[in-house]
Amino acid sequence: MAYDLEEQEQIDEFKAWWKTYGNIVLLAVAVVLFTFSGIQGWRYYQHRQALMASTQYETLSQADAKDLKLIRSISAELMDKFSGTAYAGRAALIVAKANYAANDSKSAKAQLDWARNNAQEEPIKAIAQLQLAAMQLEEKQYDEALKTLAEKHDPGFDGLFADLKGDILAAQGKKTEAKAAYQDALSKLDDSGNYHHFTAHKLEALGS
């Protein structure tokens, strides 16, 4: 096929440009393709992990509350192999509750501690903190309980945190501080909710 002079010049210019920059272009294309492939692969992996975790969690949520062996087994797998999913934190709460019911407070606290530090959902972290602090209160570990409540948490739970703080302070005999905590809780709890009523009753019980 014959080319006119202008076309031949353009071809020669392209060949020269390609000789200089061709490898760079190919490398850039390869990087883009590799990156795209990596993103797609990561998304597939995340989807697969979430699907597998969902199946495991469904089995866990339907397990007999007395089947401690099964609950521990599934929860351990979710917390170990699927810690990046929301189901791991939820599983930690379930197994903590089962262990507490079985009088294994040490394991229950360990799982709540894991949830407050590793759960993917902020509300789950807050619930774990509250339950851990409540157990510490029950065991008269007052300073530890107050420290747990003082940690950063979902603001939506501020009322419950203040209420439990009041319980701890009251248990320590710190009446003035307890009243202040209950008053703080009342300002943050839903007026129509049961917790507001319970907190108001506790505040009233402390007297003037």
Three-state helix/strand/coil letters over the chain: CCCCHHHHHHHHHHHHHHHHHHHHHHHHHHHHHHHHHHHHHHHHHHHHHHHHHHHHHHHHHCCCCCCHHHHHHHHHHHHHHCCCCHHHHHHHHHHHHHHHHCCCHHHHHHHHHHHHHHCCCHHHHHHHHHHHHHHHHHCCCHHHHHHHHHCCCCHHHHHHHHHHHHHHHHHCCCHHHHHHHHHHHHHHCCCCCHHHHHHHHHHHHCCC
Q: Give this prediction's pTM.
A: 0.76
Split at pLDDT 50, 70, 90, the class of 15 is low
Indicate the average pLDDT of the chain. 84
| 45 pLDDT above the threshold of 80 | no
pLDDT higher at 7 or 85 = 85
The domain segmentation of the chain, as residue ranges, is: 23-120
Of the pLDDT bands very low, low, confident and very high (cuts 50, 70, 90), residue 136 is very high
What pLDDT is stored for residue 31 in this prediction?
Answer: 58
